[in-house]
Amino acid sequence: MTISQKTIDIVKATAPAVKEHGEKITSRMYEIAFAERPDYKLGFENTWMVDANGNGKNTRAEVLIAESLVPVRFTSTGKTVSTGKWLSLYDGETWTLASDVDVDHVVALAEAWRSGAWKWSSSRRQSYANDLGVAWTLRAVTDNVNQSKSDDDPTYWLPPLESANCVYLTEWVAVKIRWKLTVDAEERQSIRDGWLDARCFALSKPPVVTVKIAP
């Protein structure tokens, strides 16, 4: 089913409806098309960390500023963030040096490429790589944890902090919907399994984000 240009409740749209303590899973309200992923091609050269709004700060700096729990400080150039306070969703660690923090694409650039971005124009790929339109496409996280994730999908990687999995899976699917990226069968099953294993359905307040399809 084609996803229309409107906001949707990500939990209603993608989180499996669970009955009988997770033994029965109903269909999703919305389907993301499935496709065979092309051979790996990066295709995102010179698109990441641009200064999209012309304020002298690139996308990394913008995310670090937005996610810091305290006002950030800059290097002498006034453009590069040097210190702040960041809580990494993936492992629960807190960092004060920006050099200890990576800005992660929740759906990695290479995964996006395999999932349909190979068909996009270079300007659209740049928009994806620097998507500051919502708060959940890019995350400030512990650098080595992000590096361990590489470009894996949830079949091969989930946050080491299990309590983060419900948020992570919700955001993963939200990004795929926002950018109309494909999901393969193995990935789809892993998302469902991860949701059940983390008992996301049992949370009193499961993670919810509102998705607007990217322009």
Torsions phi, psi for 154 (to 5 deg): -65, -10
Report which of residues 172 and 114 the model is more confident about. Answer: 172
pLDDT for the residue numbered 140: 98
User: Is 191 within the bounds of a domain?
Assistant: yes
Residue 148 belongs to domain spanning: 8-211
> Would the pTM of this model clear 0.75, i.e. be above it?
yes
Q: Which two tokens stand for residue 53?
A: 């709004």
pLDDT of amino acid 42? 55
Q: Which amino acid appears at position 23 of this protein?
A: E
Number of domains in the chain: 1
The answer to whether residue 2 is domain-embedded is: no
Q: Would residue 3 count as lying in a domain?
A: no
pLDDT tops 90 at residue 164: yes
Min mean pLDDT across 16-20, 94-98, 121-125, 166-170 is at 16-20
Per-residue pLDDT band at 54 (split at 50, 70, 90): confident
* Averaged pLDDT for residues 4-11: 37
Strands 94-97 and 101-105: unpaired
- At which residue do the structure tokens 């990935």 appear? 187
Mean pLDDT of 82-90: 98
